[in-house]
């Protein structure tokens, strides 16, 4: 487990003063992830909230080398950088240990960047890919993505006479990535900081690609008071909406299990994007969402099987 006294000695790699919203989950996730290694780090980020708000020309909030990529190619760019590093290290032109991390939102990871990500994982590049998952294209006015939950209202899945928000369940990207048989895959939340930092340490130490899918609250898109960011993150974990799991060398396990999962309705009522579900004509959708969470929990337990143990 992560040691908080040791973590406090690691210099900040993302400074304050950036222009992300107060209460934004992305910056919290980035700071915790970058605590996962003491080595030099090179970071890249797809276009999105994180990049736009931390690199307003001529300023940067990054205290480490940082590469801005197009929306779709953060993984491809970091593949090239990691390959160049290995070549230079082999020639003796670089001697120090350097880690590589690519960041992307769910739009740039689940959807637009999936091909780039899949290729990098299949080729076996030694880097960490982090999806800061705020469940929509937040930087471009809250359009639905493959990570948007069923029932959520977005600008492209509006609520009206013929729609209750998004009709589909979210894509299970964590399982898709695990199918690439890479050394390390995990889901995490900033609310459980020790779990996230520990998973980051494992990801940076992995002998090959590693992937972290981290829920990142967005109070503007999800519509809740900005000071409740961590509270909402924890509620996702406690209801089973966002299970804390890892897949280490093909072995699935829960890293945390609530003693008793809270009903999903508590998660839904905490956010304005689901407020329309609390009407007579839409209440059946809440039942469908609960059923989906329960089915996924059972699926994960089956994947973990009898060897599954809580860390």
Per-residue pLDDT reduced to its tens digit, 175-212: 999 999 999 999 999 999 999 999 999 999 999 999 99
pLDDT beyond 90 at 9: no
Average pLDDT over residues 5-22: 90
pTM for this one?
Answer: 0.96
pLDDT of residue 309: 53
Q: What is the dihedral sign for C-alpha 129, 133, 136, 137?
A: negative
Among candidate residues 163, 206, 198, the one with its CA nearest the CA of residue 181: 206
pLDDT of residue 70: 93
pLDDT of residue 157: 97
pLDDT band of residue 6 (cuts 50, 70, 90) is confident
Residue 160's SS3 state is strand
Hey, how many other C-beta atoms are within 10 angstroms of the C-beta on 25?
27
pLDDT of residue 232: 98
Domain ranges of the chain: 4-140+171-257
> Locate tokens 């003491």: which residue?
38
Is residue 23 within 8 Å of residue 43, measured between CB atoms?
Answer: no
pLDDT of residue 130: 98
CATH fold group of domain 4-140+171-257 = Rossmann fold (3.40.50)
Give the model confidence (pLDDT) of 256-299 as tens digits. Answer: 999 999 999 999 999 999 999 999 999 999 999 999 999 999 99
Give the model confidence (pLDDT) of 81-138 as tens digits. Answer: 999 999 999 999 999 999 999 999 999 999 999 999 999 999 999 999 999 999 999 9
Q: How many residues does the chain have?
A: 311
Q: What percent of the chain has pLDDT over 70?
A: 98
pLDDT of residue 306: 52
pLDDT beyond 90 at 10: no
Supply the mean pLDDT for the chain.
95
Hey, how many other C-beta atoms are within 10 angstroms of the C-beta on 208?
16
């Amino acid at each position: 487990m992560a040691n908080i006294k040791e973590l406090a000695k690691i210099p900040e790699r993302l400074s304050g003063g950036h222009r992300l919203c107060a209460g934004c989950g992305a910056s919290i996730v980035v700071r915790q992830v970058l605590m996962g290694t003491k080595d030099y780090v090179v970071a890249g980020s797809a276009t999105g909230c994180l990049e736009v708000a931390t690199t307003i020309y001529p300023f940067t909030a990054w205290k480490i080398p940082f590469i801005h990529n197009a929306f779709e190619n953060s993984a491809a760019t970091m593949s090239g950088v990691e390959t160049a590093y290995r070549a230079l290290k082999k020639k003796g032109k670089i001697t120090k240990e350097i880690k590589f991390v690519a960041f992307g939102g769910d739009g740039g990871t689940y959807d637009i960047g999936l091909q780039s990500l899949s290729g990098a994982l299949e080729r076996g590049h030694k880097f960490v890919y982090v999806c800061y998952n705020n469940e929509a294209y937040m930087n471009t006015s809250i359009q639905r993505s493959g990570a948007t939950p069923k029932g959520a209202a977005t600008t492209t899945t509006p609520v009206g006479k013929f729609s209750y928000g998004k009709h589909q369940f979210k894509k299970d990207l964590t399982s898709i990535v695990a199918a690439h048989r890479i050394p390390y895959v995990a889901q995490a939340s900033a609310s459980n900081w020790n779990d996230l930092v520990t998973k980051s340490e494992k990801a940076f130490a992995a002998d090959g690609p590693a992937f972290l899918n981290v829920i990142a609250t967005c109070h503007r898109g999800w519509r809740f008071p900005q000071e409740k960011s961590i509270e909402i993150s924890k509620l996702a974990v406690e209801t089973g909406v966002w299970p804390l799991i890892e897949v280490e060398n093909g072995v699935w396990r829960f890293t945390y299990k609530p003693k008793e999962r809270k009903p999903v309705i508590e998660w839904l009522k905490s956010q304005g994007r689901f407020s329309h579900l609390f009407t007579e004509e839409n209440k059946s959708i809440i039942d469908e969402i609960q059923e989906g969470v329960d089915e996924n929990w059972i699926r994960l337990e089956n994947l973990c099987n009898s060897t599954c143990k809580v860390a």
